[in-house]
A and B are shown apart, each in its own frame.
Chain A
Amino acid sequence: MSLLKIDGLTQRFGGLQAVSEFSVDMKGGELMGLIGPNGAGKTTIFNLISGFYQPTEGTITMDGNLTAGLKPHQVTSMGVARTFQNIRLWHDMTVLDNIRIAQHYRLGYGVMDSIVRGKKYREREERILEIATELLEAMSLTDVAQEFPKNLPYGLQRRVEIARAMSIRPKLLLLDEPAAGLSSSDVEDLIKLVRWIHENFDITIFMIEHQMKVVTSLCQWIKVIDFGATIAEGTAEDIQSNPAVIKAYLGDDNI
């Protein structure tokens, strides 16, 4: 059974066709890239997968379950986590809190427990703290656990955001332009991080990215879209020599 199966996904906003007949079948464990010029519809596809929009046509299935009609937090609890083009951390809460709040889907206690604070609450909070600290340690973020993200350098913020996504123990990790705004040394760190995640966790990664260096060093398979439609797919070598792709990117310095 596929992990993520998208079939004929189409999205129309009024008269604008943002996504046309997008299909993908991920069995699990892939590291796939999604590239295309600006405005091609890439983030829209991610928003559809996350459950922010309901598709005009087509289906999205996670582990055999349709995601139609589900709210984003429900899709997330199915094992989908994502990061955003513009880092969306909670800047007035500590890094540790950022990770802990992402555990909301498996808090295991309700509002009454949070007030009465009986045994169940204490055990669950301890467990959540444990999960969070372990993850921070694994991602070398223990030193900044009590910092506020707004005080951290951009590269580190990106790492925290990915850590937060990872704390959901996702089966599918959606990374939306993770290298955006990063310096070249941070980009190197990012490539290492993503590779490390992919190798050490039972996870599928689907990545939108503009910087070809990142895409070519990480992605096993790449889909290219332009104006909502898939214009090519293949390995990094295939894509780089594909005339349709080159035409779509005409003038793009990254190639």
Chain B
Amino acid sequence: MAACAVLLLTLAHFKILDNYIQAVIMFVGINIMMSTSLNLVNGNMGEFTCGHAAYMCVGAYVASVLSVKFFGTKMGDPLLPGSMAVFVFPLIILAGGVVAAITSILVAVPAFKTRDDYLAIITIAVNYMVISAIENMDFVGGSRGFQGMKNTVWAMKDFLNGPWMLFWVITFTVFTIWLIRRFITSTYGKGVNAICQDEVAAEIMSVNTNKIKLVNFMISAGLAGCAGGLFAHIIGYVNPQSFNILKSTEALVMVYLGGMGSLSGAVISAVLFTGLMEVLRSQALIDFLLSPATFIFPDWEPSAGVIKWVMIPLLLVLIMQFRAEGIMGNKELSDVFPKLKKYYTFK
């Protein structure tokens, strides 16, 4: 896997991989982080949260503000010299993750006592609250959005030329997968699955269910926060509405498409989903797919961006009807292809 990453990076550096492909790869990474982190809570722990984008939002804004404070010019002079950007950047991203993890306490504490439906509302409400709170914060641009983080990226390029954002996204994506895998395969982490399958039994069998729930929520949110920070720096601009219920829905689609509780499923579905989103961006494809309808209604000009959001939910509805357990069910790749066990052990 390391070889693959190095290959990607060299290709990008030497401009063999064009910017568009690089961007797609980076979004794949972000989506992997989002879906695997949500899978911890919605899959392994079996809760039904619908507001994952809130943590991404928190992470994005915290990382962006730190970035601009340290290396940008929008909020006064940069506090640190550009040469430190390469070393400070991961810390900025992690800081975003930490604050996002703390935000998840808002959801985790009610989760001690409440069931799925109620928890769903709480998470939706928190999603709206975070967005609403930021829209009321003028010093970060409110609903107009915030920018200036690109300075940090340029500072890194100035220090040492190279595809830094691609590097960081790959690093953090691998970090996310590694961290989750280690957590979930330990006996400590298996407590999460125990809570999912029978919370009463878990509590009786000495699992401190409240603590495990809290830890799980925080890890999930923290990783999403890191994804948010990276997302912000790739685009160079954030605005609160990018993290609304639609973004949360994207994460939900990926988790349920991949199969609840399956880490490899979450990764696979993130890749497929990102691919699908890109493919559906093509107006030509949409026009082709809808040609029978446009034949009947010649005045109708469907826009790809809109049709995409009819087809993606439709896809998930069909999945629910015909293969609700998702691509992987609750198995991992090494269960389906036992020979892979030679290369890595999962459980």
Inter-chain pairs besides A93-B190, A97-B187, A107-B187, 14 sampled, C-beta below 8 Å: A52-B200, A71-B208, A73-B205, A73-B206, A82-B204, A88-B200, A88-B201, A90-B193, A101-B205, A103-B206, A104-B188, A104-B208, A111-B219, A115-B182
Does the CB pair B197–A101 fall under 8 Å?
A: no
A109 within 8 A of B: yes
Q: Mark B185-218, 1 if CB is under 8 A from A, else 0.
A: 0111111011001101111111111100001000
Could you list 9 examples of A-B contacts with CB < 8 Å? Answer: A76-B204, A88-B201, A92-B330, A101-B187, A101-B194, A104-B188, A109-B188, A110-B188, A165-B205
List residues of B (302-344) whose CB comes within 8 Å of A's CBs: 330
Question: In whole angstroms, how far apart are the Cα atoms of A89 and B189 in the complex?
Answer: 17
Minimal beta-carbon separation of B226 from chain A (angstroms): 14
User: A164 CA to B194 CA in the complex, in Å?
Assistant: 13
Residues of the B chain whose Cβ atoms lie less than 8 Å from the Cβ of A77:
206
Cβ–Cβ contact B204 & A93, under 8 A: no
Residues of A within 8 A of B205 (CB): 73, 76, 81, 101-102, 104, 164-165, 168
CB distance from B215 to the nearest CB of A (A): 5
A117→B179 CA distance, assembly (Å): 11
> B186 to A90, Cβ gap below 8 A?
no
- Chain A CB within 8 A of B183 CB: yes
- The reply to whether the CB of A84 lies closer than 8 angstroms to some CB of chain B is yes
B189 CB to closest chain A CB, in angstroms? 6
Convert A75-106 into 0s and 1s, putting 1 for each residue whose CB lies closer than 8 angstroms to a CB of B.
01100011010001111110001001111110
Give the number of residue pairs across the A-B interface with Cβ within 8 Å: 92
| Chain A neighbourhood of B189, CB < 8 A | 114
Measuring CB to CB, which residues of chain A are less than 8 angstroms from any residue of chain B?
A: 50, 52, 71-73, 76-77, 81-82, 84, 88-93, 97, 100-105, 107, 109-111, 113-115, 117, 121, 125, 128, 164-165, 168
Q: Is there an interface contact between A89 and B201, defined as CB atoms closer than 8 Å?
A: yes
Decide: A111 near B207, CB < 8 A? Known: A88-B201, A92-B193, A101-B194: no
- A92 in contact with B197 given A97-B190, A101-B207 (CB within 8 Å): yes
Q: 1/0 per residue B205-244: CB within 8 Å of A? A: 1111110000100010000000000000000000000000
A interface SS class:
helix
Residues of chain B within 8 A (CB-CB) of A128 are 187
In the complex, how many residues of chain B place their beta carbon closer than 8 angstroms to a beta carbon of chain A? Answer: 27
CA distance A164 to B344 in the complex (A): 29
Interface residues of B (CB under 8 A from A): 179, 182-183, 186-191, 193-194, 197-198, 200-210, 215, 219, 330
Name the residue of chain B whose CB is nearest to the CB of A80: B204
Q: Is the CB of A93 within 8 A of B194?
A: yes
Q: Which residues of B contact A82 (CB under 8 A)?
A: 204
Q: What chain A residues lie within 8 Å of B215 (beta carbons)?
A: 111
Q: Which residue of B lies closest to A110 (CB)?
A: B188
Question: With A and B bound together, what is the CA distance between A103 and B191 in angstroms?
Answer: 10
Shortest Cβ distance from B136 into chain A, in angstroms?
34
B203 touches A71 (CB 8 A): yes
Whether the pair A90, B187 counts as a contact (CB closer than 8 A) is no
* Chain B positions within 8 Å of A105 at CB level: 206
